[in-house]
Amino acid sequence: MVANKAGIEPVESGFPGGLRAPLAVVGAALCLLVAWCVIQLPAAARSGGALAVAQSQELLVNDLARATADSIGDVAGDLSTASALYTVHPDPTPAGTLAAITRGTPQALGLALVQRGVGTLLAGTGEPVPVESLPNKDIDRITVALVRDQSGATVVLTAAPLTGTDWLILVTTGLKIPAHTLSGQPAEALLLTTVDGQVVKSRGAFDPKYQPMVTAASANSTAVGSIVGDAGKGPVVDGARTTPIAVYAPILTGDPARPLGLNLVLVGSAPSQGTAQTPVETAWVTAVLAAAVLASLALLGFGFVVPLRRLRAEALGGHRRRKYRLREAAVVSAALRDEILPVKRGWISARLFVVLAVAPLLLCSAAVGVIAGEAVPNVPDLVVQGERGLAEVTAGALRDQMSASLSDLRTFATRATGDVASLKPALANLMAQNKRYRSVYVTDANGAVQVDAGRAPLRTIERPPGGSGLHQQNTAGRIPVLYASTPLPDRSHVLIGELDVTRLSSILRRSAGNGKLVDSGLRTLASADGYRAFDVLSDQALRQSVTDALGGVGRPGTDQIDGQWYVVAAATVTGSPSTDPLRWTVVLEQPLTTLPLPDNVVRRYALFAALAVGAAGLLLLGWYHLCFVRPLRRLAAAAVNLEQGDLKTVIYPERLNEIGTLSQCLDDARRQRTATTAPVPLLV
């Protein structure tokens, strides 16, 4: 007996309500994903070479650009401090005023004192200052601009109003590129360029053939980036043609930082092609994903969708009876025909079958994710050497900051005469203009503070060191006490500036990964990440890197630290008489997985594919379980009750799909059996 004798017309919703909808939607998405893997994974594996090298140099060039901006900003700080000291002992004559300012600005090429508002020259010294190039002669704060002097050279013009007067101080300084070792490939030259591509300062051999790339790089004055030229158009290196590259970063000055109109551009060459050999085999990943997708879709299609649609056709009377492996389908089929349900082996529940059908997707997702996550990328030597360059630049920036702090104090001391208490406004100005200090103060010969500015001193009261220099007072405690000191002209007082460790840490944060500043005892003084002061480096790779750097031999390389692979490089904070005795070292550790390498691109793509496959598997599992498996299991339970004689419970369709149609057919079968078993009324 089949239910369609009553003429049931199935009422089923359209897409996406049917059994085939999940396969159509998720299956199409998975097929597109496999196609994407076929195209993108091999392309990513071959995307190394020039692009990877250029991107790996962007942090280095940005660090060099910031160091250049710091040197320009130091001039503004020196000028502000000199102006503040002038107010302590003012000179009414322009010549005397200019002489006092000159002693406080040792970097100046030329100085001029002009009338504010009109620009009339009152006094000048050194090289002629292009007063006419100052765009606004009625300024009320320090400004920095890029101008040309009388010889046509590009110089930096810094202007500041002189407190208590209607005069302006103008200072011209030259442009300089921070020291950095150019060791051939990839770097050949470092250039300072204007926005129109004109080279105003260079270091290294600049080949004019790079000029079009330099012009294009100079046009972008707000962001860091790189340009890769035509493959094979660079010089021949080790018998192979290379690709020219240009990496650029803007020079930003002021607070907030604004473009000065200069860019730092690194030009050089890099290998034209990357290697297709990666730790994550792209063909293997694609094959595994494709096999998992095919297996799951085939199991769901032929093992779940097709049997249930055949059962629906059977219930409607349009299909001959078949045998079913799904237990719920067999129960419903027997109930529709009013047959005794035999107990057979080999049946499987719909819930378990759907889980097993989706399992290949989930297992594939887990396997690819684990393998890609644990893969160690191949790091070209050029990238490792670039990390050493980054450590050198970071160490140089710290050296310049600390040397500048001592230079500030020495300049300040040249004008700090008379009553010590009268220096407080000038000390406050020194603090305001130089963020490198946490406090600045004057002590007596025994180290007791006489006048101060900034936060409370951390330095323990003790007799100050003789002469000028940089010092580290403690090797234990909550905060490292690092300071610069210089005696005042009266020789009975000492000027001390405590360095702000947070400021030193901000310089370390410019570099990727985790940078640390350590002393000669391998104790941490500052760090880019959270740290405890004076924690001793515990990892052998970091200790060896610092030891090599202190010994004069920097050996950057890759090492495993706490189960993760890093590029490790170290550089000493040396190069000036004030910092050499400290024997401080910068050590950088950057995870290999964060480097701009083709291996990492492949790894990220593989992880994305694994995540997408896993999400698709869960979507299929949830869709089929909620919309079909659960209603089917309840329908099978109703069929069992029906076979056991329950003819009163109405079987309602839960959803307007194939399972809903089966519910209608089974309820129609229940009504027919109720009619045949009802007692016939007696006729009187």
CA distance 10 to 141: 83
CATH (residue range 67-173): 3.30.450
Among 81-85, 227-231, 424-428, 435-439, name the one with the lowest average pLDDT.
Answer: 81-85
Two structure tokens written together for 409: 């104090």
Residue 8's nearest CA partner among 683, 676, 667 is 667
Q: Burial, 602: exposed, middle or buried (Cβ in 10 Å; 0-12, 13-18, 19+)?
A: buried
Domains 67-173 and 398-503 in one fold: yes
| pLDDT greater than 70 at residue 53 | yes
Per the model's pLDDT, the better-predicted residue between 386 and 391 turns out to be: 391
CA distance 542 to 106: 39
Q: Please tell me the predicted confidence (pLDDT) of residue 485.
A: 94
Tell me if 654 sits within 8 A of 628, measured CB to CB: no
> In the predicted model, what is the mean pLDDT of residues 200-224?
84
Q: Please tell me the predicted confidence (pLDDT) of residue 6.
A: 47
Residue 519's nearest CA partner among 534, 504, 509 is 534
CA distance 613 to 623: 15
Q: DSSP readout, 17-42? A: SSTTHHHHHHHHHHHHHHHHHHHHHH
List CB contacts of 655: < 8 A, sequence separation 6 or more. Answer: 13, 17, 627, 631
Q: Please tell me the predicted confidence (pLDDT) of residue 469.
A: 92
CA distance 333 to 315: 8
Fold classified for 507-598: Beta-Lactamase (3.30.450)
Length of the chain: 684
Q: Please tell me the predicted confidence (pLDDT) of residue 279.
A: 57
pLDDT, tens only, 457-466:
999 999 998 8
Two structure tokens written together for 217: 């790089």
Q: Please tell me the predicted confidence (pLDDT) of residue 1.
A: 44
* 35 C-beta neighbours (distance < 10 Å), count: 12
If you search the block for the tokens 């029906």, which residue do you land on?
642
CA distance 547 to 544: 5
Two structure tokens written together for 308: 């249930």
Residue 518's nearest CA partner among 503, 504, 497, 500 is 504
CA distance 621 to 74: 64
CA distance 554 to 540: 15
What pairing do the DSSP bridges indicate for beta strands 557-561 and 524-527?
unpaired
Say if residue 256 is preceded by a cis peptide, omega within 30 of 0: yes
| pLDDT greater than 90 at residue 486 | yes
CA distance 237 to 368: 38
Q: Please tell me the predicted confidence (pLDDT) of residue 186.
A: 65
Two structure tokens written together for 631: 């209603």
pLDDT, tens only, 257-284:
788 888 999 888 877 665 544 556 788 8
Helix (H, G, I), strand (E, B) or coil at 534: coil
Tell me if 571 sits within 8 A of 388, measured CB to CB: yes
Fold classified for 398-503: Beta-Lactamase (3.30.450)
Query: What are the domain boundaries of the chain?
Result: 3-40+281-374+608-677, 67-173, 398-503, 507-598
Amino acid present at 492: S
